[in-house]
Amino acid sequence: MASPSTEDDSPRGFAATVVDGDDSRLVCGSALFLNLPDDVLALISSHLSPRDLCSLSICCRSLRLAVCSSEKAWISQCRRAGLPQHLLPRWRTGVRSYLALCRFLTAVSPLLGLWVHQNPELGNVVFVLWGCLSVVGCRVIPQELGPLGLAAGPLLWAPVFEILSDSDGSAEFFFLHGREADDTLYPGTVHSIRPGCNVLLLEVDNFQLTPRSFASYDNHRARSLRRSDTTISPALSSPQLTFNRLAFGDRRRLLDLVAGRVRLKVPLDLAAAPLFPPCSSSNSIEEEDSLLEKRRLALIKMYNVGRGRVDWREAERHPSSSNFCKKNSDEDGGFPSSRSFSSTSKRRKFFSVAGYLRNGLRQFIGKSRSSSASSLILKNGGSCSSNQSKHVQLHEFLRGGANIGLSFSAIKMRITTYRAWPNMHDNRFALYKLPFQPPSADQEYAGLWGGTFGWPPGQSSEDKPGKALFFLLLSYEEVDGRLLLIATKILEGTHYVLHPNGSAMFVVKVDEPSNEPFPWETYGDSVPVEVKRTYAGEGIANGYGFRYPGSKPGSLFEIQNGHLAFVWKETKSVLTLQRLEIEDLLRKGERVPALPRISNFAYLTKSYSNVFAGFTNTSNGSSPQRFS
């Protein structure tokens, strides 16, 4: 009997022998796999990761065609990304296939969750949630509770950034939100989103023209190159010439300048459009989807006009006709005034990147000469304490490409934490992800909680019309063999900060019950208080200064309705908590104006007062009682 011949597209080790009378032939095992019903294929693919599914598709040509065209297989992958089930068919209409939708969901899902920065001390909390074929970052505004408490009053928020999907599922449309005279958008590029990312960076990237012949090295860029002969891609520069190597002043001014040049004024009809589907709406689902899709397509069209990039070399060659040369640098995105540019004559020279470069070269030449002299001293056996090599000069950074633009990156860094609060850089435009612990059987209190001081919980009274809203992250940590429950403050809605960001409002020993009785027998409506469990611990107190406060003994009580209450033993002060579903609160919340430009991404200025109050008070329909 002749040995069977193997087909060209048959994978090695993936074959079955079929005997028909005296004849036998080798049949590709993929044919048996492809003959399974679609529902069975979808069930099998739901247990695979997108990477495994792609690996399966390259076994042979038949599998590749079947997997790429199987909608049910990629629906299962979309469900694993965490998108609510009712949004899947609504998002499918905006992309080519469920494969494209899975590509976008897999790319941006690491961005979902809570992100923080330590400045200002009242809180800089940003929550990223699903939008309309997009993800939206929303800042929670420090605020007081309304007269009906957190359950009835809307949560105030302001947009920070959003990333939109293209029809092929690529996450390439980045918009930074900001406030000038009106709502303004600043387009940029999504540089990278790493799995397991814990830091979001806002930077300026160099871009250069890339020939079509190099497109094969990047499939994502190749799709863009099919529509044009050239495209603009990040310049391949030396690691020593990255944006974070610039001095902090250069980074701040360059970010502000580029944002001012690429800004897009939002039309009035789009300014009122929602960024994400609300929880409840008077409009029908069709009208809601129509508004969201109309806004998304309009933003993509606006983005494609200039793609958020500035040609600074063109401004150097033609300074008189360039868009850089404006009469009013403050209105058109010029460098902001600073102490180093105190005189009016000096400020007039910095109307453009080209002007900044031309005038800065004179200073840079002097610095480079001093650096050369310093290196010569070192060669001769001397010593030099200068830190000239610590930063990259701006003209060296700009030489990496002809175009510059805003860039968004989500990276993974090794970050140390203290009681669930990340240790952050003071001079990087970054947001840091909070290490969130989901509740479990032995760690049932883990998660995000909202709280107020006073009794009854979450309600204001006639003598105290407004109560400050606190956001606390409860997490477990083992210290010296004992399991501790730590309540870390991440948001405070007072007029002037009382406790620093990242401070532990209380620490409880979960293995040590408390013998202290609960001070109140009833709620405000005469409902009896039912105490389920108690724990001994310590609560924050003054004693060692603002940054390093002291602590005093207290007890944590679990009462009915899922509420927690920590009571200080001496003062009988009480902090009541209830678990928060922040995404639902934001969807039911009230939008207020954002901060200006770059400060809206990460407010790096140290402040102990409510820097957001001056902007949110101007919103329509906002109650003065809800702001400090």
Per-residue pLDDT at 286: 76
Per-residue pLDDT at 197: 95
pLDDT at residue 367 above 60? no
Average pLDDT over residues 492-521: 90
CA dist., res. 599 & res. 299, Å (int): 22
Of 395 and 217, more confident: 395
Q: Give the number of other CB atoms < 10 A from CB of residue 598.
A: 25
Instruction: Report the percent of the chain where pLDDT is more than 70.
Output: 67
Per-residue pLDDT at 359: 53
pLDDT at residue 193 above 90? yes
Return the structure tokens found at 299.
Answer: 């933003």
Q: What are phi and psi of 129, to 5 degrees?
A: -135, 170
- pLDDT tens, position by position, 517-540: 999 988 877 789 999 999 999 999
CA quadruple 72, 73, 74, 79: dihedral positive or negative? positive
Beta bridge partners of 184: 178, 265
pLDDT at residue 327 above 60? no
Per-residue pLDDT at 163: 97
- Residue 445 burial by CB count (10 A; 0-12/13-18/19+): exposed, middle or buried? buried
CA dist., res. 204 & res. 590, Å (int): 32
Name the DSSP class of 604: -
CA dist., res. 588 & res. 155, Å (int): 7
CA dist., res. 279 & res. 264, Å (int): 29
Beta bridge partners of 507: 486, 538
CA dist., res. 375 & res. 373, Å (int): 5
CA dist., res. 511 & res. 465, Å (int): 38
3-state helix, strand, coil in the chain (%, to 5): 30, 30, 40
Average pLDDT over residues 349-370: 46
Of 491 and 347, more confident: 491
- Residue 395 burial by CB count (10 A; 0-12/13-18/19+): exposed, middle or buried? middle
Binned at pLDDT 50, 70 and 90, residue 290 comes out as confident
Q: Give the number of other CB atoms < 10 A from CB of residue 15.
A: 18
Per-residue pLDDT at 78: 85
Q: Give the number of other CB atoms < 10 A from CB of residue 385.
A: 5
Give me the chain's average pLDDT, please. Answer: 75
Q: How many residues can be counted in the chain?
A: 628
CA dist., res. 557 & res. 229, Å (int): 67
Return the structure tokens found at 5.
Answer: 């011949």
Distance (Å) of CA 255 to CA 261, 317, 334, 341: 10, 22, 10, 17
Average pLDDT over residues 464-482: 86
Of 599 and 544, more confident: 599
Of 30 and 331, more confident: 30
Average pLDDT over residues 117-126: 88
Per-residue pLDDT at 500: 85
pLDDT at residue 265 above 60? yes
CA dist., res. 271 & res. 285, Å (int): 20
Residue located via tokens 């993929």: 30
* Cβ-proximal residues to 262 (8 Å cutoff; 6+ apart), any chain: 186, 187, 188, 306, 308, 309, 310, 405, 406
Average pLDDT over residues 557-565: 91
pLDDT at residue 123 above 50? yes
* Cβ-proximal residues to 297 (8 Å cutoff; 6+ apart), any chain: none
Name the DSSP class of 529: P
Per-residue pLDDT at 623: 37
Of 229 and 252, more confident: 252
Residue located via tokens 């090794």: 414
Each residue of 72-83: b (16+ CB within 10 Å) or e? bbbbbbbebbeb
Break the chain into its structural domains and give their ranges: 15-83, 104-310+405-413+586-626, 314-402, 437-582
| 553: amino acid identity, one letter | P
With beta carbons less than 8 A apart as the criterion, state whether 209 and 236 touch: no
Q: Among residues 528, 520, 521, 515, which one has the least CA distance to residue 554?
A: 515
Residue located via tokens 């830091």: 199
Consecutive H or E run containing 301? helix 285-306
Per-residue pLDDT at 543: 67
- pLDDT tens, position by position, 5-52: 444 444 444 444 444 444 444 445 566 666 767 677 767 776 777 777
Return the structure tokens found at 74.
Answer: 């990629």
Which range, of 181-185, 556-560, 587-591, averages the lowest pLDDT?
Answer: 181-185
Beta bridge partners of 406: 188, 204
Average pLDDT over residues 183-210: 87
Distance (Å) of CA 163 to CA 69, 128, 171, 238, 465: 26, 10, 7, 28, 39
- pLDDT tens, position by position, 71-118: 777 888 888 888 888 888 889 989 998 889 989 999 999 999 999 998
Binned at pLDDT 50, 70 and 90, residue 544 comes out as low
Q: Among residues 450, 448, 449, which one has the least CA distance to residue 435?
A: 448
CA dist., res. 565 & res. 550, Å (int): 20
CA quadruple 399, 401, 406, 407: dihedral positive or negative? negative
Distance (Å) of CA 220 to CA 59, 168, 224, 234: 22, 10, 7, 13
Give the SS3 label for residue 302: helix
CA dist., res. 601 & res. 430, Å (int): 8
CA dist., res. 565 & res. 553, Å (int): 14
- pLDDT tens, position by position, 203-230: 998 876 443 333 333 344 334 333 333 3
With beta carbons less than 8 A apart as the criterion, state whether 270 and 182 touch: no
Q: Give the number of other CB atoms < 10 A from CB of residue 572.
A: 11
Of 77 and 174, more confident: 174
CA dist., res. 141 & res. 492, Å (int): 9
pLDDT at residue 329 above 70? no
Binned at pLDDT 50, 70 and 90, residue 240 comes out as low
Consecutive H or E run containing 265? strand 264-265
pLDDT at residue 580 above 80? yes
pLDDT at residue 377 above 50? no
* Cβ-proximal residues to 286 (8 Å cutoff; 6+ apart), any chain: none
What is the tally of helices (H) and strands (E) in the chain?
A: 17, 25
Binned at pLDDT 50, 70 and 90, residue 362 comes out as very low
Which range, of 268-272, 425-429, 477-481, 564-568, averages the lowest pLDDT?
Answer: 268-272
